[in-house]
Chain A
Amino acid sequence: MALRLPITQLSAPGKFNHHCTKTSYNIHSALSWRRTLSPDSLISSSVSSLISPSSTTGKSYGVTCTSAQTTSAGAVNLGPGTPVRPTSILVVGATGTLGRQVVRRALDEGYDVRCLVRPRPAPADFLRDWGATVVNADLSKPETIPATLVGIHTVIDCATGRPEEPIKKVDWEGKVALIQCAKAMGIQKYVFFSIHNCDKHPEVPLMEIKYCTEKFLQDSGLTHITIRLCGFMQGLIGQYAVPILEEKSVWGTDAPTRIAYMDTQDIARLTFIALRNEQINGKLLTFSGPRAWTTQEVITLCERLAGSDANVTTVPVSVLRLTRQLTRFFEWTNDVADRLAFSEVLTSDIVFSVPMSETYKLLGVDAKDIVTLEKYLQDYFTNILKKLKDLKAQSKQTDIYF
């Protein structure tokens, strides 16, 4: 599984190596991703050795994160040629909840959007319907990446591995390959979406990976913006709103964790404002919604708006943790354990929210333009209830005809 990029070598000796070592938690029961920052220049001599063979062979889950910082500008400037248009962007993870909003926003603002999507039997037709160009590539197959970056000015990376696949594959190895590739091909800006508080929870694999990627991106020397996000309102629809409407049971935890959910459309909008602001280059922004909510509060809000009581099943966080501990003992449930890892965060009394006034000022955005969760869910319920009513009327009509 040697990671090799068929492009120009990033051969300048790295001044800086960043190791993210994930010890195999099959053996050690503690899931830990240790970060070491050592000025060690032995490993990075070429791209092919970026992930050292020793760490990838065998059953150990070692990952070495090395960013070869090129000191010479030669690797970036690929010589004279047609300059890429600043309106040409590549969106990675374009089919996701956030990615699709980013694509739409970009198209609407007049960018030429290319979407990197995995080859799949049912292609993402909606992207092409909107006017984006779709290229097939897979982050877990690094050799497919370079071709997609030709003629691109800015890369917007909203990709996250699917829940059912091993987290490391896309989120770590794929991202490293993408960033290196972007660096080598002289991409002029790289926008990376991370998770809020990811530096505080090294025990959650996804957050650890995001944090390492942030670091890696920082060290790569690319002009970049890192945006940390809290939670998407769109996710709540499937989790709470739909089950409540369908009178199914809703599952919630009793965790005191508060999350400031944000509309992905707002995130996309702010992202593009940030993207065009040269002063934000290299900065770390955190976007969060206007107010932080616990799951209980969200469910109560949904109930009120739907006008019906939800069949709520409250799962104590301790049960989630226990499940996670259990699943960690078996290799075939490792992915499950990874997915449940967030329960570790839930048990902590943490708030996923940041004051946004600084960010609004920096971006020149009016706080009242940001959608609140109340407004969002209210819109959703009014619309869906209206639709249901229409449906009922329709079905009555058909009854008469039959």
Chain B
Amino acid sequence: MAATAAATRAIFSNTCHYHHHGSKHPRIPSTFLGTVSHPKSTFYGYTTGFTAAQKSRHGHQFLLPRASAEDDNSGGDNEAETVQVQQQPPVSLSLDDVNPVGLGRRSRQLFDEVWRKFSGLGQISRTTRADDRDALDALLIREGPMCEFAVPGAQNTTVLVVGATSRIGRIVVRKLMLRGYTVKALVRKADEEVVNMLPRSVEVVTGDVGDPLTVKAAVEGCNKIIYCATARSTITGDLFRVDHRGVYNLTKAFQDYNNQLAQLRAGKSSKSKLLLAKFKSADALSGWEVRQGTYFQDVVAAKYDGGMDAKFEYTETGEAVFSGYVFTRGGYVELSKKLALPLGRTLDRYEGLVLSVGGNGRSYILILEAGPSADTTQSKLYFARFSTKAGFCRVRVPFSSFRPVKPDDPPLDPFLVHTLTIRFEPRRQRPIEGPMGMKQDPRSFKLIFEYIKATPTGQETDFILVSCTGLGIEPTRREQVLKAKRAGEDSLRRSGLGYTIIRPGPLKEEPGGQRALIFDQGNRISQGISCADVADICVKALHDSTARNKSFDVCYEYVAEQGRELYELVAHLPDKANNYLTPALSALEKNT
């Protein structure tokens, strides 16, 4: 598009340029300018760059020798010459070409072009003229691959920046704009000061992260979220609202929005879930197996053992109910099934399970058996605990939250999962008040199944959260701040979204890209980091598959005395086209 635009515009533009010279050539009638454009407009509408170029070439043969030999005094002569041509038009030309106004215009264009090029030779640094510029910019600067900032895929990505006026958020927004992303900014108040602080074409959404309704409007149309809002004070209420609930509200709204999209596409999209089990009829219960067992043999207390019982049945009201009780110490009951995936589907393209269940609000353990399905003795067990609430709810259990039963086993590989088990055990149950105010016995349970689905995975991170390491916070409030931040992080990890959690050291307001950075996991960092570097990490992480589902600390490299270095240099100075993030992050643990 840009090229033709450039071609045609270059032709048109000469008139504008001409105005300027026109004042210096009194011999040329300036009235030409006003009348020309109208009758010719249709003609040029059909003219492609090619014909225009042809004509100009034709013209050059005609004008060239004179113009090169003469200065701009000859402008009038050229004009006169073309006037002669217009009086004796060649027969081969069409009606449009004979039009004296058009001819005059074209001759002026030709002359002007020649003159422009000629004078261009005598300049030291040729500045591109303003009209050329728009077309060139489009290719070279704004979206072009020639631009060092251009990111493939940025065109089609809308990023919601939460806390766009924060120290990091401001820079994040600018970086996104430079790279051609569409940016939405969630701000608390859209007053003039705030709006002026943001780039003009950012879509400003007013809302409060503490308010689920406004958040819902904000995530509409977004592909990714960068959360850099922090509580303004360290008052517990503020911390809870922004750092904890804020993250929760956004993840929830975003996940809901994604699901809504998947539904619209009727399961055709990559965002649609895979149905593992549906409990709509009594047949659905086949294949499910109820088992019971104990963690340890309690020989002495065996005579007080109340025993345990569990059943999985399809009720008359059309519900698949798993219920029973466990009175044995260390006992458990479980419901298990070998998974039968549809042909061509494997669980590695999914990132978690979602269960729609009802019941009386117990917590359960979800156990996945993974290993070669031919030889179940090699299977390894992975577990994750989930809570339900009284009544129906949907529970998301990402594969990332599964831990191996034997700590030495490798992390769960969803591809190998072949058996799914839901276990109930009376340990660690929260006491729940019954409807009559009387305490329910935590050893009995009832779980009504609706469906079990697998949620689809993505390669990239969906949600980037800027948290903190706790350094640089006043010590009296550090506990509270960290507690809220960690709760927020946890709610993000549990959400099933692809996440990246960045915990920068104390922020410094200085330009970024100057010092080497340390990426680390495990609360060992000691240095600060500039806001611009954090923003850069956020933006780079958007399309980096190694950043998905990772939490990490980041700070400047600690410049230690010789021989006392604690860390290896992980990342080098961010340089042109130097992607420091991928190598730095690939060394770090996933699902943290």
Interface on A for B, CB 8 Å cutoff? 85-87, 96-97, 100, 104, 107-111, 125-126, 128-131, 133, 160, 162-164, 195, 204, 206-207, 229, 231-232, 234-235, 237-239, 242, 245-249, 251-253, 265-266, 269, 272, 276, 311, 313, 315, 319-320, 322-324, 326-327, 332-333, 336, 339-343, 345-346, 366, 369, 376, 379-380, 383-384, 387-388, 391
B4 at the interface (CB under 8 A from A): yes
Residues of chain B contacted by A164 (CB below 8 angstroms): 20
B141 touches A100 (CB 8 A): yes
Chain B nearest Cβ from A104, distance in angstroms? 6
A-B contact pairs, 25 of them (CB 8 A): A86-B511, A104-B149, A109-B511, A110-B510, A110-B535, A111-B511, A125-B200, A129-B200, A130-B174, A131-B199, A133-B196, A162-B127, A232-B125, A235-B128, A238-B128, A247-B57, A251-B117, A251-B120, A276-B514, A313-B64, A340-B123, A342-B124, A376-B146, A383-B144, A387-B139
Residues of chain A contacted by B177 (CB below 8 angstroms): 129-131
- Count chain B CB atoms within 10 A of each CB in A232, A234, A366 and give the residue with the most: A234
**Known pairs A109-B513, A110-B531, A129-B201 / 14 extra A-B pairs, C-beta < 8 Å:** A87-B511, A104-B141, A126-B137, A195-B125, A238-B126, A248-B57, A249-B57, A269-B576, A313-B117, A342-B124, A343-B122, A369-B576, A379-B146, A383-B146
B121 in complex: contacting residue of A195, A315, A383, CB < 8 Å = A315
- For the complex, give the distance between the alpha carbons of A287 and B127 in Å: 18
A387 in complex: contacting residue of B1, B113, B531, CB < 8 Å = B1
A265 touches B530 (CB 8 A): no
Chain B nearest Cβ from A85, distance in angstroms? 6
Chain A nearest Cβ from B47, distance in angstroms? 13
B73 at the interface (CB under 8 A from A): yes
A237 in complex: contacting residue of B113, B136, B178, B514, CB < 8 Å = B136
A326 in complex: contacting residue of B2, B50, B73, CB < 8 Å = B73
A195 touches B124 (CB 8 A): yes
Residues of chain A contacted by B122 (CB below 8 angstroms): 320, 323-324, 339-343, 346
- For the complex, give the distance between the alpha carbons of A85 and B531 in Å: 14
Residues of chain B contacted by A85 (CB below 8 angstroms): 509
A242 in complex: contacting residue of B6, B60, B69, B126, CB < 8 Å = B6
A108 in complex: contacting residue of B71, B175, B199, B200, CB < 8 Å = B175
- For the complex, give the distance between the alpha carbons of A315 and B114 in Å: 12
Question: Which of B450-478 touch A at CB < 8 Å?
Answer: none
Known contacts: A128-B199, A246-B7. The answer to whether A110 contacts B127 by CB under 8 A is: no
Residues of chain A contacted by B175 (CB below 8 angstroms): 107-108
Known contacts: A97-B127, A108-B149, A342-B123. The answer to whether A319 contacts B68 by CB under 8 A is: yes
B123 touches A163 (CB 8 A): yes
A126 touches B142 (CB 8 A): yes
B226 at the interface (CB under 8 A from A): no
B140 at the interface (CB under 8 A from A): yes
Chain B nearest Cβ from A84, distance in angstroms? 12
- For the complex, give the distance between the alpha carbons of A290 and B235 in Å: 57
- For the complex, give the distance between the alpha carbons of A107 and B173 in Å: 10
B100 at the interface (CB under 8 A from A): no
Q: How many residues of B contact A (CB 8 A)?
A: 76
Residues of chain B contacted by A110 (CB below 8 angstroms): 171, 510-512, 530-533, 535
Residues of chain B contacted by A111 (CB below 8 angstroms): 511
Known contacts: A107-B178, A130-B199, A311-B57. The answer to whether A231 contacts B123 by CB under 8 A is: no
Known contacts: A108-B149, A163-B123, A242-B132. The answer to whether A234 contacts B140 by CB under 8 A is: yes
B213 at the interface (CB under 8 A from A): no
Chain A nearest Cβ from B160, distance in angstroms? 17
**Would you give the 0/1 interface string for B59-91, flagging 1 where the beta carbon is closer than 8 Å to chain A?**
010001000110111000000000000000000
Residues of chain A contacted by B178 (CB below 8 angstroms): 104, 107-108, 130-131
Chain B nearest Cβ from A222, distance in angstroms? 20
Known contacts: A163-B127, A242-B132, A247-B57. The answer to whether A131 contacts B174 by CB under 8 A is: yes
Residues of chain A contacted by B73 (CB below 8 angstroms): 326
Chain B nearest Cβ from A206, distance in angstroms? 6
B53 at the interface (CB under 8 A from A): yes
Residues of chain B contacted by A246 (CB below 8 angstroms): 6-7, 10, 49, 53
B512 touches A253 (CB 8 A): no
Question: Which of B180-210 touch A at CB < 8 Å?
Answer: 196, 198-201
- For the complex, give the distance between the alpha carbons of A382 and B278 in Å: 53
- For the complex, give the distance between the alpha carbons of A142 and B198 in Å: 29
Known contacts: A162-B127, A249-B60. The answer to whether A333 contacts B199 by CB under 8 A is: no
Q: Which 10 A-B residue pairs are closest in the complex by CB-CB distance? A: A110-B532, A131-B174, A340-B122, A251-B117, A131-B199, A128-B200, A323-B71, A342-B124, A238-B128, A109-B511
B124 touches A336 (CB 8 A): no
B125 touches A231 (CB 8 A): yes
Per DSSP, are chain B's interface residues mostly helix, strand or loop, or mixed? helix
Residues of chain A contacted by B198 (CB below 8 angstroms): 131
> A120's closest neighbor in chain B, by CB?
B130
Residues of chain A contacted by B199 (CB below 8 angstroms): 128-131
- For the complex, give the distance between the alpha carbons of A16 and B124 in Å: 31
Residues of chain A contacted by B514 (CB below 8 angstroms): 276
B119 at the interface (CB under 8 A from A): yes
Chain B nearest Cβ from A353, distance in angstroms? 14
Question: Which of B122-169 touch A at CB < 8 Å?
Answer: 122-129, 132, 136-137, 139-142, 144-149
B132 touches A109 (CB 8 A): no
B32 at the interface (CB under 8 A from A): no
B408 at the interface (CB under 8 A from A): no
B249 at the interface (CB under 8 A from A): no
B567 at the interface (CB under 8 A from A): no
A265 touches B148 (CB 8 A): yes
A345 touches B124 (CB 8 A): yes
- For the complex, give the distance between the alpha carbons of A206 and B198 in Å: 37
- For the complex, give the distance between the alpha carbons of A87 and B531 in Å: 11
A384 in complex: contacting residue of B3, B120, B124, CB < 8 Å = B3
> A385's closest neighbor in chain B, by CB?
B3
- For the complex, give the distance between the alpha carbons of A315 and B72 in Å: 15
- For the complex, give the distance between the alpha carbons of A108 and B175 in Å: 6
Residues of chain A contacted by B575 (CB below 8 angstroms): 366, 369
Residues of chain B contacted by A204 (CB below 8 angstroms): 124
Residues of chain B contacted by A239 (CB below 8 angstroms): 120, 126
B549 at the interface (CB under 8 A from A): no
B511 in complex: contacting residue of A237, A272, A326, CB < 8 Å = A272
B118 at the interface (CB under 8 A from A): yes
B3 in complex: contacting residue of A232, A376, A388, CB < 8 Å = A388
Chain A nearest Cβ from B77, distance in angstroms? 14
Residues of chain B contacted by A229 (CB below 8 angstroms): 125
Chain A nearest Cβ from B165, distance in angstroms? 12
- For the complex, give the distance between the alpha carbons of A206 and B126 in Å: 13
Residues of chain A contacted by B173 (CB below 8 angstroms): 131
A234 touches B128 (CB 8 A): yes
Chain A nearest Cβ from B195, distance in angstroms? 11
B56 at the interface (CB under 8 A from A): yes
- For the complex, give the distance between the alpha carbons of A311 and B57 in Å: 9
> A210's closest neighbor in chain B, by CB?
B124
A206 in complex: contacting residue of B69, B113, B124, CB < 8 Å = B124
- For the complex, give the distance between the alpha carbons of A203 and B324 in Å: 100
Residues of chain B contacted by A129 (CB below 8 angstroms): 177, 199-201
- Count chain A CB atoms within 10 A of each CB in B64, B71, B514, B530 and give the residue with the most: B71
> B68's closest neighbor in chain A, by CB?
A315
Chain B nearest Cβ from A35, distance in angstroms? 19
- For the complex, give the distance between the alpha carbons of A27 and B118 in Å: 26
Chain A nearest Cβ from B228, distance in angstroms? 13
Chain A nearest Cβ from B218, distance in angstroms? 20
**Would you give the 0/1 interface string for B338-360, flagging 1 where the beta carbon is closer than 8 Å to chain A?**
00000000000000000000000
Chain B nearest Cβ from A314, distance in angstroms? 9
B174 touches A108 (CB 8 A): yes
B24 at the interface (CB under 8 A from A): yes
> B135's closest neighbor in chain A, by CB?
A242
- For the complex, give the distance between the alpha carbons of A308 and B590 in Å: 52
A391 touches B4 (CB 8 A): yes
B510 touches A86 (CB 8 A): yes
